[in-house]
Amino acid sequence: MQESRMRLITIAAVAALAATPALADPLTREQARADYHQANADAARAQIQKENAQAEADVQQDNAASAQVQANAAQADANVLKDQADTRQAQANSAQTQASIAQSEAANAQARAAQAEINRDEALDRADEARATARVN
């Protein structure tokens, strides 16, 4: 855009030189030449600035692409870790279920043991009574 503007100024200056006889004096022509050279220098500086800005944009684009690659890798690592955590959670849930089942089975076994002890005590009591009855008879 800056380059186009400078060209337009240059064309306008040349057209003014050609169209106006008053500009024919040497001082005016010299000023026009100086303006022309200044406009060319400005255009050259603008071109350099444009190229520098483009180079900087290219570097930033490369940096952004590199950062995106790193972000993608980090996301993939996070997904793997999440999958591992989900697997561990499922294993923990399964172990908890197995522990609950074992605890229930242990409680049932304990209740059966208590009932067996009661049955044994009753059997011993009946045996004692039978012995006592047999001694009496």
CA dihedral 4, 6, 7, 9 (to 10 degrees): 120
Instruction: Say yes or no to pLDDT of 14 above 90.
Output: no
First to last CA, the chain: 132
**Model confidence over 43-94: pLDDT tens digits?**
999 999 999 999 999 999 999 999 999 999 999 999 999 999 999 999 999 9
Residue 12 binned pLDDT confidence (cut-offs 50, 70, 90): low
Instruction: Say yes or no to pLDDT of 6 above 70.
Output: no
- 79 token code pair: 């997904």
- 13 token code pair: 């200056």
**What distance in Å separates the CA atoms of residue 37 and residue 3, rounded to the nearest whole number?**
14
Instruction: Say yes or no to pLDDT of 10 above 90.
Output: no
Q: At what angle do helices 26-136 and 2-19 cross, to 10 degrees?
A: 170
Domain ranges (residues) in the chain: 2-136
Instruction: Say yes or no to pLDDT of 137 above 90.
Output: no
Could you tell me the CA-to-CA distances from 123 to 62, 111, 131, 135 in Å, in that order?
Answer: 90, 18, 12, 18
